[in-house]
Each structure stands twice: as C-alpha cells, then as structure tokens.
Structure 1
C-alpha cells in the first residue's frame, strides 16, 4: 500500500480520523487510492470522496474552490493557503478553528478529553483560564465538551480550544 502524503500541519490524519480507509474512488482524480478524507469540505460543490493526495497537492482545493478548515490568527498567506486548502481538516461540534503560534499554523494532534489535556499543562492552563477547572474535568475526546489539541512547530508549546453543541 502506498504511504500517505505528509501533511506538515496534520501529522497523523489516520489517527485523528480525518483520513479513513476506503475503496471509494476519489471524485477529483478518479483513482482508488485506499484512503479518503473524512472531514469538512467548504465548497459550492459537494464531493463525496476526496483522496489525501488530491488534498496534499492542492488539486481538490483548486478544482472545487474548497477549504477544509479555517486558520485562526495572523500567519503568512502561504501558510493560510496550505492549511485551509491543502491540509485535512477535522470535525468539531461547532465551527472548527486551526490554532496558530509563533507566526505559523500549529500541528493538529487530535481530539482530547480531560486525561489527554492534563498531559499538556500549557494547553490545560489556557483552557482553565477560558472555561474554568470544572469544565476542563468534563472534557471528553469522544463526547462533549471536547478539546482540540495542537502543538506549535517552533517552540513545541501545546495549545487547545474546546467546543460543544
């Protein structure tokens, strides 16, 4: 089986569930690659299956004038385009946000519950400041509220935000 393309800002899209095994052909290239993207697509058209290779090379974003997430914060335009149009997004309860730090997009590590967030005191501190300790103890990676964990590619600081319905 062919190795998945490398996504700088989403290092393990299989582990996060944003890319899943599938025999469906890609709507963009028509190939059966063994994997498809399983995340939000913000576009006029509604493609049913996109392979990770068409996300990585930008052809899916270009063909469908699609975004797969939304970058939050101030970053160079080339970073914004790479994250929004060439990186697998992820599903959240509300509007997903891609966090930034040190003038760059951060790497998405996945959904996190209280136990996962506690392993990253820097991320936990930000969530406690915003929501309080009791809320943070209720975080659930598979339920709600859910935290979304990121890591800065420059200083290794962990960042998170939380949402729920």
Structure 2
C-alpha cells in the first residue's frame, strides 16, 4: 500500500500544548482502519470528540489528529473542536484551542478554562477520588457551587459525588504558566 495513504505504525501523535494527552482523556482513540475524511490517510488514530461545523457531514471519528493539529480539518470543514474558551485570552490562543486542539465531550457544551492570560491544558474528566490530589481545583469547584447559593453541606455532598464516567463530572485543567490546577463541573 502507498506510504502516503497508510502510515498507521510509523507516525507518533502530534503535540497538542493545550491537550497534552488526548489518548488518556479519550479525545483521540486508536483506530487502525479508518481513513481520515480530510487527508484520506489511515494514521492509526482518530479524533473521538465533538466537531462543530455547518457541514451536514458527520465527522466524529473520521478525522485524524494530524489534520486537527495543522488546522487543515478546521479550514476544510470550517470546523471547531471546543465549545467555549472561558476568560480573557489572546485571539491566537482562542484559535489554537478551538481550531487546532482536540476538544472533549462534556454533559453539556464543553468549556475550556484559562488562567494567567493563557488557555489551560486539559487533563481530563475526573471524579471525587482523583480530585482529592488537587486541592486548588477543589477550591475552584467549591467557589463555583457557592455562586449557586448552595449551603455548605450541599456543596460538600456535591464535591463528594463527582464521577469520572458518570455525573456530575469535573473537568480538570492545569495552568500552563503557573501550574495551578483548575476545574469546572457539569451535569444534566
């Protein structure tokens, strides 16, 4: 088979500064058979996250991470891969996250957190057990719940109920500037 069409074993995943391990988060999945809808190559991995586009074509599970990284998928399909980039960040950062970074699936629309004037690195969905190692992220979630005007008991019950695979779920990020951990929660 032509090298330009099938290079499933020879190519390492591209580097995504805002999503350092998309395999671990489930946003990229191994797939030795699917040809990318954008470049036509079988690369051994496909993007499994959300694709926002006006196109009628269903692109989920049909784009390779390389076409996301180089921006060709966003360009060809006028696609984006992130719901909302929260906070005040430069337009170039917003574009890098939205059009050249694998997004993630949330219960509602995903929100990409920012800190120190930059988008944060997405580390993945987490439950209460995983969150225990990140007190700064827990504090962020506590502040989020305080804004909902819940009682202290309700907030602590809520923080103890996070489930990585179920709901509510917390989404963990790390600031690329100061290494602080951030999180937000989501449920239906």
TM-score for the superposition, normalised by structure 2 = 0.86
2:53 is aligned with 1:43: yes
Indicate yes or no: 2:81 matched with 1:68.
yes
CA deviation after TM superposition for structure 1 residue 137, in Å: 0.1
Q: Which ranges of 4 or more aligned residues in structure 1 deviate by more than 4 Å?
A: none
Q: Which segments of 5 or more consecutive residues in structure 1 lack a partner in the other structure?
A: none
Structure 2: segments with no counterpart, 5+ residues: 1-8, 146-154
Deviation at 1:128, TM superposition (A): 1.6
Please state which structure has a larger fraction of its residues in strand: 2
Root-mean-square deviation over aligned CA pairs: 0.8
**Which residue is 1:138 aligned to?**
161
- Check whether the contact 2:144–2:184 (CA below 8 A) recurs between aligned residues: no
**1:113 aligned residue:** 127
Find the aligned partners of 2:59 and 2:167 in 1 and give their Cα distance: 28
Cα drift, residue 52 of structure 1:
0.1
Residues of 2 paired with 1:133 and 1:155: CA distance?
27
- Matched residues in 2 for 1:148 and 1:53: separation? 24
Shift of 1:44: 1.1
User: Take 1:96 and 1:126, find their aligned partners in 2: how far apart are those partners?
Assistant: 17
Task: Spell out, residue by residue over 1:133-160, the C-alpha distance to the aligned partner (whole angstroms, 9 max, x if none).
Answer: 1101000001000000000001000000
Aligned residue for 2:6? none
Match of 2:137 among 103, 123, 139: 123
Q: In the alignment, which residue of structure 2 is the partner of 1:15?
A: 24
Give aligned pairs, total.
Answer: 165
**Secondary structure in 2 aligned to 1:141?**
coil
Correspondence for 2:34: 24
